[in-house]
Structure 1
Amino acid sequence: MGLLWAIISWIIIGGLIGLIARAVMPGKQSMSLALTIVLGIVGAIVGGLIGGLLGGQGVSGIMSNPWSIGTILLAVLGALIVMVIYGFATKGRA
Structure 2
Amino acid sequence: MTILWAVIAGLVVGLLAKLVLPGRQPVPLWLTVLVGAAGAVLGNAAASYLGVRHTAGIDWIRHALQVGVAAVLIALVSPGYARRHR
Q: Which has the higher contact order (CA 8 A, sep 6+)?
A: 2
Q: Which runs of 5+ in 1 are unaligned?
A: 62-66
Distance 1:10 1:86 in 2: 20
Please give the TM-score of this superposition, normalised by the length of structure 2. 0.78
Compute the RMSD of aligned alpha carbons: 2.0
Aligned to 1:64: none
Structure 1 residues 29 and 49: alpha-carbon distance in aligned structure 2, compared to 1, 3 A threshold: same
Q: Which ranges in structure 2 are unaligned for 5 or more consecutive residues?
A: none
Alpha-carbon separation, structure 1, partners of 2:48 and 2:59: 15
Q: Which amino acid aligns with 1:82?
A: L
Q: Take 1:30 and 1:88, find their aligned partners in 2: how far apart are those partners?
A: 8
Paired residues, what number? 82
Q: Deviations over 1:37-88 (max 9, x none)?
A: 111000111212222332334xxx6xxxxx7323221110110121122135
Q: What is the TM-score normalised by the length of structure 1? A: 0.72
Q: Residue 45 of structure 1 contacts residue 78 of structure 1 at CA under 8 Å; is this kept in 2?
A: no
Aligned AA for 2:26? S
Distance in 2 (CA, whole Å) between partners of 1:54 and 1:83 is: 23
* Equivalent position amino acid for 2:41 in 1: I
Residue 67 of structure 2 is aligned to residue 71 of structure 1: no
